[in-house]
Amino acid sequence: MNIHEYQAKDILKKYGVRIQEGIVADTPEKAVEAAHQLQEQTGTEWFVVKAQIHAGGRGKGGGVKLAKSFDEVKEKAGAILGMQLVTPQTGPEGKLVRKVLISQDVYYPGASEPKEYYLSITLDRNTSQDVIIASTEGGMDIEEVAAKTPDKIVKEWIDPAVGLQGFQARKVAFAFGLSGNAFKEMVKFVTALYTAYRETDASLFEINPVLKTSDDKILAVDAKMNLDDNALYRHKDFAELRDITEEDPLEVEAGESGLNYVKLDGNVGCMVNGAGLAMATMDVIKLSGGEPANFLDVGGGANAKTVEAGFRIILKDPNVKAILINIFGGIVRCDRVANGVVEAYKQIGDIPVPIIVRLQGTNAEEGAKIIEESGLKVKSAILLKDAAQKVKEVLA
């Protein structure tokens, strides 16, 4: 689950990670109120208005603006709220901005120049360990740094049995070239960041940039957090952080029906029980010359209701030219699934694309018979290779 910058910063603050302070707002008037409140709290003279969407690169797309007065806060919040923000991570259609984070300006002048760093923590699947990734090239796209100047990236793997060691946090601070108070602050920052990462069951924390202010404070200017869906049951309070307006509407609808759906770019919709069979089915679609339009696992108890919900979701994708239903009847019998398909078909009315149903397992023959005798535009197959052949025929 992805969350917004303002939510991620709230979490960081609870764990003692210093952040650029901010208050979220959804109207220009509330943005000005937030700025007044922020000035009382922090004494800041200037503000930054930051679009809250689930995508990075907002600065480049015009979603992060400096405001040097309350009037400018109002004007810039008004311009950003409601805009369709396009960044390198949103795709060309962009994302609608519903909230802005009004933040204190932390790039104020002082004894030294403010300096930006890159810091992230994620799971390295190759080593089965969490890894801290640090770079002096803060504020930049880390993929670009990795491609052009890989020597500017430092990685520190963390042994899960002992956790982050003091020397590792110090190594990161050394790699940034810090000394004195900034060094101490950075060690504290990295240590608290790691604790937050562990205790929230996150799969990614990315702080880009981490800022050393002109008076040697270390703080998070940006915060991207990815929380592990499979651990959310341990964090009931995180449920409210979910923003479904940021998610794919079809995936949200599928989730509500208990279906596991991922939209893809192809032309053959598929409905399968079991994730492994779904993956194999997608391979078969490719081998028969099609491209899967989606991944859809209807789960163990496929019935008329789940099949109908599956149909409806698949049919909302205008690219779908055919649907392949591939169900293995184990506990759920094929004749029941076949009846479910026929019933769902009748419920929805005329389905404009050909459907191939492959039922294998318990009562497969009975299932095939029900499909054949239904009089609907549905082809049945028992063997996967027949199903693939039929997909090929309907696409031709």
Let me know if 92 is exposed, middle or buried by CB neighbors in 10 A (0-12, 13-18, 19+): exposed
57 is in an annotated binding site: yes
User: Tokens 């797309």 map to which residue?
Assistant: 61
Give dist(CA 93, CA 244) in Å, integer: 18
95 touches, from Mn ion, ligand GDP, none (C-beta below 5 to 8 Å by class): none
**Closest CB to ligand GDP among 57 and 94?**
57
272 touches, from ligand GDP, Mn ion, none (C-beta below 5 to 8 Å by class): none
Least gap, CB of 219 to ligand GDP (angstroms): 10
* Number of helices (H), then strands (E), in the chain: 12, 18
Q: In 231-367, which ranges are E strands?
A: 260-263, 268-272, 294-297, 322-329, 355-361
Q: Which among 309, 314, 300 has a CA at the least distance from the CA of 356?
A: 314
Interface residue with Mn ion, options 87, 208, 281, 306 (CB under 5 A):
208
Q: Residue 168 interacts with Mn ion (CB under 5 A)?
A: no
Q: Which among 332, 335, 311 has a CA at the least distance from the CA of 323?
A: 311
The sign of the dihedral angle between the CA atoms of 171, 106, 58, 14 is: positive
Given 3-state DSSP classes, what are the helix, strand and coil percentages for the chain, each rounded to the nearest 5? Answer: 40, 25, 35
Let me know if 19 is exposed, middle or buried by CB neighbors in 10 A (0-12, 13-18, 19+): buried
**Closest CB to Mn ion among 21 and 386?**
21
Interface residue with Mn ion, options 116, 130, 185, 222 (CB under 5 A):
222
63 is in an annotated binding site: no
Binding mask 35-74 for ligand GDP (x = CB under 6 A): -------------x-x-----xxxx----x-x--------
Number of residues this chain uses to bind Mn ion (CB under 5 A): 2
Where does this chain touch Mn ion (CB under 5 A) — which range of 77-85, 113-121, 202-210, 274-282? 202-210
Amino acid at 12: L
Instruction: Give the footprint of ligand GDP on residues 341-370 (CB under 6 A).
Output: none
Active-site option among 137, 206, 261, 308: 206
Active-site option among 118, 194, 197, 345: 118
- CA distances in angstroms from 275 to 229, 280, 303, listed in the order given: 17, 9, 17
The answer to whether 233 is a known catalytic residue is: no
Where does this chain touch ligand GDP (CB under 6 A) — which range of 101-109, 187-195, 251-259, 288-296? 101-109
Q: Which residues are annotated as a binding site?
A: 50, 57-59, 106, 116, 208, 222, 273, 330-332
Residues annotated as part of the active site: 118, 206
The footprint of ligand GDP (CB under 6 A) covers 20, 48, 50, 56-59, 64, 66, 103, 105-107, 139, 208-209, 221-222
